[in-house]
Amino acid sequence: MPELPEVETVKRTLELKILNWEIKKVHVYYENIMPDGNKVNLEGEKITALERVGKFLIFKLTNYVIVSHMRMEGRFFLKEDIEPKSKHEHVKITFTNHLSLRYVDTRKFGRLLIKTHDNYLDTPPLSEVAKEPKDIDPKEFHELLKRRQRAIKPTLLDQGIIAGLGNIYVDETLFIAKVLPTRESNLVTLDETKKILKAAADVLAKATKLGGTTIYTYESSEGVTGRFQNELLVHTKEGEPCPICGTPIEKIKVGGRGTYVCFKCQK
Ligand SMILES: [Zn+2]
């Protein structure tokens, strides 16, 4: 699944190419993905900027804003407009330069929502996105954790509480912070909260620098392959020695998600 570093990578890749391109036509082949794509006329709109908020990729246009979320399997590709539609292609945005941006999504969970400059930050989904680890005050976050009894891992995966951490990066974060993913959130100390936020910010920054993580089925759009999978400490490392103490890494389930831990280093 594209997580924050992968979405940032897609943003950086696309913005090198599509800024100032002018939209000629939008084709929506599967309406749930872009519900207003056939209703709002985007002809003549130019792409003025790309932004990222949490895992949302935002295309700013002259008068409108497209808020996109790639969810599990979504990807963007740039192609010549005459190239035929691919099997799982659901939206095609054609530009006046005869190139087109294609949204491809085998699971059809992704969304491209048309908003305005005035409302896109103040309406769902962006109004519900929490701060990223680097922007969160540890004391405030600790107060919030104190009120939650569920395990720390699902709390950190909750995008309404902290933005940008997915399954891979939560495992890495909790390993670095030496906290077991199963620990109740309200039992995490202030000192551990600081370590978790610092580790999360570092992990996301490093992964972004390396173009994200390419594992499972996810591959960044436009042929960009992330390299953070080479830096993973515990995620996907079942049975391999812990990089700190040598104890074999174990795979457990936490909140239904495959989770990798060192039971010696993490308390
Ligand atoms: Zn260890």
pLDDT digits (tens, 9 = 90+) for 48-99: 999 999 889 999 999 999 999 988 788 888 999 999 999 999 999 999 999 9
The confidence score (pLDDT) of residue 71 equals 85
pLDDT digits (tens, 9 = 90+) for 188-197: 999 999 999 9
Same-domain check for residues 138 and 241? yes
Same-domain check for residues 153 and 224? yes
Q: Which of 94, 128, 162 is the last residue of a domain?
A: 128
Residue 104 predicted with pLDDT over 70:
yes
Q: How many other CB atoms sit within 10 Å of the CB of residue 107?
A: 12
Tallying the residues shown for the chain, one arrives at 267
For ligand 1, the distance from its centroid to the CA atom of residue 216, given in whole angstroms, is 25
Same-domain check for residues 212 and 174? yes
Measured N-to-C along each axis, helices 190-209 and 138-146 cross at an angle, to the nearest 10 degrees, of 120
Same-domain check for residues 108 and 152? no
Residue 143 predicted with pLDDT over 50:
yes
Read off the CATH number of the domain in which 166 is found.
1.10.8.50
Does residue 199 belong to any structural domain of this protein? yes
N-to-C CA span, the chain: 28
* pTM, rounded to two decimals: 0.83
Same-domain check for residues 190 and 240? yes
Q: Which of 85, 106, 128 is the last residue of a domain?
A: 128
Q: How confident is the model at residue 214 (pLDDT cuts 50, 70, 90)?
A: low
Same-domain check for residues 33 and 52? yes
Count up the domains in the chain and report the number: 2
- Strand ranges (E), 39-128: 47-53, 56-61, 64-69, 75-80, 89-95, 99-104, 111-116
For ligand 1, the distance from its centroid to the CA atom of residue 212, given in whole angstroms, is 24
For ligand 1, the distance from its centroid to the CA atom of residue 1, given in whole angstroms, is 27
For ligand 1, the distance from its centroid to the CA atom of residue 244, given in whole angstroms, is 5
Does residue 267 belong to any structural domain of this protein? no
The chain-wide mean pLDDT, for the chain, equals 92
Read off the CATH number of the domain in which 109 is found.
3.20.190.10
Same-domain check for residues 42 and 93? yes
The confidence score (pLDDT) of residue 218 equals 41
For ligand 1, the distance from its centroid to the CA atom of residue 249, given in whole angstroms, is 8
Same-domain check for residues 112 and 168? no
Active-site residues, by number, are 2-3, 55, 257
Same-domain check for residues 98 and 140? no
Containing structural domain, residue 199: 133-261
pLDDT digits (tens, 9 = 90+) for 155-185: 999 989 999 898 999 999 999 999 999 999 9
Same-domain check for residues 196 and 251? yes
pLDDT digits (tens, 9 = 90+) for 21-57: 999 999 999 999 999 999 999 999 999 999 999 889 9
Same-domain check for residues 208 and 246? yes
178 phi-psi bin (left φ>0, alpha ψ -120 to 50, beta other): left
The confidence score (pLDDT) of residue 70 equals 87
Q: How many other CB atoms sit within 10 Å of the CB of residue 178?
A: 16
Does residue 266 belong to any structural domain of this protein? no
Q: Which of 128, 145, 166 is the last residue of a domain?
A: 128
Same-domain check for residues 158 and 108? no
